[in-house]
Structure 1
Amino acid sequence: MNSHFFFCFFVFLTFTTKTLSMFSTSPQSPSSATQLYDKYLTQQKKPNNDTIYKVSKQLCWGCMAESVEFLFRHNIVRSYKWELPLTWDFQLEQYARWWASQRKPDCKVEHSFPENGFKLGENIYWGSGSDWTPSDAVKAWADEEKYYTYVTNSCVSGQMCGHYTQIVWKSTRRIGCARVVCDDGDVFMTCNYDPVGE
């Protein structure tokens, strides 16, 4: 709770001091005020990948590099929406590894449970050939953002965006993922999320 307060206070303080200094000049026309605001937005720091990587490693203590990669890539996507980083959960990883092992013989793109029949979120990914990485899977899921309408909290008609919304879902806190090279040489990856998103 205190860390949330400190972070919010820091962001507010940073925004307030920069904004006040930027807008405290003499009265201006609406177009120049818009230009000043646009300038302010472009000066805002984008999320720092090095910092996100270090935080992700701390939130995945004792993890293999592949697990850190899954977590890091998720936390980058979340940082662009100012959401708290996810932490690695070894029970969710164990469940994901179990499901990936079930898919190893056939690499079938199939969820581990019927739709609306489970209390965890789940994203799945399949790639032809054995070179696909956790970064590729998370990028594919995150690319669905272009099909998501924030105002209505819905996907563009005929498009999928649920993989993206699961990644950035505000109440989701824990993740566990697995990657397997299937018997046919293709790759299957799965991530489970708790609490489930929409």
Structure 2
Amino acid sequence: MRLALYIFTFLMIVVLHTAKVGTRTPPGGSPNHLQTTRKDNPNHEFHQLCRQAHNKYRKIHSAPPLKSNSTLYIMARSWARRLAILDDTSKVTHRPGSGFGENIYWMPRSKAPYKEYAQKAVDAWYEEEKDYDYSHGVYSSQTAHFTQLVWVSTMEVGCGYNVSKTNTTFVVCNYAPQRRHSRRI
């Protein structure tokens, strides 16, 4: 019993230390705003590339730039990892009951550098804009990724990726607050 307590304590210290590495609170910001301090971390860099790609498109629609959120980032990375472990694109599902918005993209047999996945995923979601009905502005499953990407009330994002054994890259972005189906962008 005592050994189990020591192991648990050690693991908690490792987890807490690992969670703090690579992030810091910006001046005047909240701890949920992720800022990259380790330039050598490909996951943080990927997240920042996704956020920048989102903000490029959001600017076109006069939506405010998204801020990074460490909780959303961790959730996105863990879900992308789960999808990569399952390694079956026919069974891709959204994380149930998260309360956050979520976009998922996958690229089979991908060989491009990870940096390219960020832009490709966001570009694919934005391509749905051509099917968006601006005159009615209602929810459509054909434009769900696009509307989540540019929805004016969404303020924070966290993105992650993972590559499966068969080289399928899974990209997941989580959003807060979640886009509501009945509202205009």
TM tier, shorter chain?
0.5 to 0.7
> Does residue 1:136 correspond to 2:103, yes or no?
no
Q: What one-letter code is carried by the residue in structure 1 that aligns with 2:167?
A: G
Letter in structure 2 aligned against 1:142: Y
Spell out the pairing of 1:23-42 with structure 2 (5 A cutoff).
none
8 A Cα contact 2:101 2:175, kept in partner: yes
Normalising to structure 1: TM-score of the pair?
A: 0.63
Counterpart for residue 28 of structure 2: none
- 1:114-129 equivalence runs, <5 A: 117-129=97-109
Rounded Cα–Cα distance in structure 2 between residues aligned with 1:151 and 1:196: 22
Match for 1:154: what amino acid? V
What amino acid is the match of 2:132?
Y
Per-residue displacement from partner, 1:120-155 (whole Å, max 9, x unpaired)? 100000111222511000000000001101221136
Identity in percent: 33
Consecutive aligned runs of 4 or more in structure 1 exceeding 6 Å deviation: none
Task: Confirm or deny: 8 A CA contact 2:101 2:179 kept in the other structure.
Answer: yes
Q: CA RMSD in A?
A: 1.8
Tell me the equivalent position of 2:156: 174
3-state SS in 1 of match to 2:104: strand
Do 1:75 and 1:86's aligned partners in 2 also have CA atoms closer than 8 Å? yes
Q: Per the alignment, in what secondary structure is the counterpart of residue 149 of structure 1? A: coil
Looking at structure 1, the residues matched to 61 and 107 of structure 2 have their Cα atoms a distance apart, in angstroms, of: 27
Aligned to 2:85, the other structure's residue is in SS state coil
Structure 2, gaps ≥5 residues long: 1-32, 38-43, 181-185
Instruction: Give the TM-score taking structure 2 as reference length.
Output: 0.68
Q: Distance in 2 between matches of 1:111 and 1:104?
A: 13
Larger radius of gyration: 1
In 2: Cα distance, 1:143 partner to 1:69 partner: 18
Q: How far is the alpha carbon of 1:106 from its aligned partner?
A: 2.5
| CA shift digits 1:82-112 (9 cap, x unpaired) | 1100001111010111111111223332211
Match of 2:130 in 1: 146
Secondary structure at 1:91 match in 2? helix
Tell me whether 1:73 sits opposite 2:88 in the alignment.
Answer: no
Cα drift, residue 60 of structure 1: 5.3
Runs of 5+ in structure 1 lacking a partner?
1-58
1:169 is displaced (CA, Å) by 0.6
